[in-house]
Structure 1
Amino acid sequence: MIIIFIASLILFAFLYMVSRNKYDEFIEPLDEKEFKIKKIMPIGFWVMDKINYRYASKYDRNLLNKTAELNGGVYAHYYLRVHWANKITFELMLLMFLLFINGAMGKTDMELIIFSLLVMAVVAYALDKDLENKVSKRRLSMQIDFPDFLNTLTLLINAGMTVSGAWTRIVTDTKKSTPLYSELRNVMLEISNGKSEIGAYEEFAKRCRLPEVTKFVAVITQNLKKGNSELVDILKYQSKECWELRKHAAKRLGEEASSKALFPMMLMFFAVVLVVVTPAIAGLIGSV
């Protein structure tokens, strides 16, 4: 097994040498805080290219939907490739480590091999789960911010401003850089670059993928197409609904925070029990 480990180490070094200068344009834009192994990720890109992977399976389409939601449709395929490269590189590094553990034990143990395969499967699942968690956090953040935006927009429209004018006013006056406000700025950028209002709003709804945003966009696009004297009343009603959804989202955040705090509290409880019980057990053993 040690020989296999050394061979795998040489193979890993070879993969890095043949790939390190070929994917600079893919690696450079990535955030090193998000992609911890950014510098050796060319290995993953090279492997995927050599096996001529098509990124066309049902699994890939599911991943593509997530990357499109997080990074926009234009960059969705790029981040799909990044996700795969990151995963492949992680798996190869993990494989080397597991081979080293097997080699250190001096023998091939079937149980250890099965355990190693399970660890690799768990890591692959965890990387996909992390992507899914990012999507969930993004949606939750947008769900919390949207009622404020909709309420302000409704007030400005009621004061006589157009939808685009009110939208621009909110984006200009707000310094937030949360997912929702980033998307709101993208809408105004698209319109200023010549895209139709209706098209920009519809793309906004597709990127957000929230039912309340889709419903809101349907109302304002209908107003732009045919006019609607009751637009403000409808938006006021939707604003109330969104505030209720925000309350539920805040409650869910509180429940998640409570569940995260449960584990440290259990550790503290066991530590206290240990401190209390240890002297008693020591005294009992001493008396015996």
Structure 2
Amino acid sequence: MKKRSQELLNDYPEIVSKLLLLHESGLTIQNAFSVILKDYKSKNTAVSMHYAYLEIERTINKIQSGFSESGAYAEFGQRCHLHVYIKLGTLLEQNIKKGSSDLHDALNQEVRESFSMHQNHILQSGQKAGTKLLLPMILILVVVMLIIIIPAFLSMNTTI
């Protein structure tokens, strides 16, 4: 579950920025989701898809099979079980129900927040990696000091 959440968080900034870009170019949200999914599938020919794109595919399939578009977006956010996706799903659902003209501004704000969140996440993972490497670096320092000190002591004992 932690791997899934991590993967979803890593994919979020890219998905939101593409969604904003495609929406600005005149596509509907449904068509933008389809383009995002097609783009991902064309670039990644791996056997397994990332969880975010699987959820996008499920959402597109639900809409195409007759499920309401606003309900599908709300479920998309709920299925991901992460606050950022729930917020995005709610934002898209409100756009469909109320016809909000503020979608561009809201998506733009979401893109800024997601990149800021992504930067913080990268900094935290760098700090974790640095902490994990601290013990091996100390051990290497001790070994190097022993390699230098032992011959020095041995040479002092032989000269005395």
The alignment's TM-score, normalised by the length of structure 1, stands at 0.48
Distance in 2 (alpha carbons) for counterparts of 1:166 and 1:196: 17
The 3-state SS of whatever aligns with 1:266 is helix
User: How do 1:1-288 residues align onto structure 2 when only pairs under 5 Å count?
Assistant: 70=1, 135=2, 137-175=3-41, 176=44, 177-283=49-155
Distance in 1 (alpha carbons) for counterparts of 2:53 and 2:8: 8
Moved more, 149-158 or 169-178: 169-178
Q: Which amino acid aligns with 1:151?
A: S
In the TM superposition, what is the alpha-carbon distance from 1:284 to its structure 2 partner? Answer: 5.7
Distance in 1 (alpha carbons) for counterparts of 2:150 and 2:88: 62
- 8 A contact 1:143–1:245 mirrored in 2: no
Larger radius of gyration: 1
Distance in 1 (alpha carbons) for counterparts of 2:128 and 2:139: 18
In the TM superposition, what is the alpha-carbon distance from 1:254 to its structure 2 partner? Answer: 1.3
Q: Which amino acid aligns with 2:120?
A: H
Gaps of 5+ in 1: 1-69, 71-134
- 8 A contact 1:147–1:243 mirrored in 2: yes
Query: Taking every aligned residue pair, what percent have the same amino acid on both sides?
Result: 32
For CA contacts below 8 A with separation 6 or more, give which structure has more relative contact order. Answer: 2
The root-mean-square deviation of aligned C-alpha atoms, in Å, is: 2.2
In the TM superposition, what is the alpha-carbon distance from 1:247 to its structure 2 partner? Answer: 0.8
Count of aligned residue pairs for this structure pair: 154
The 3-state SS of whatever aligns with 1:195 is coil
- 8 A contact 2:75–2:89 mirrored in 1: no
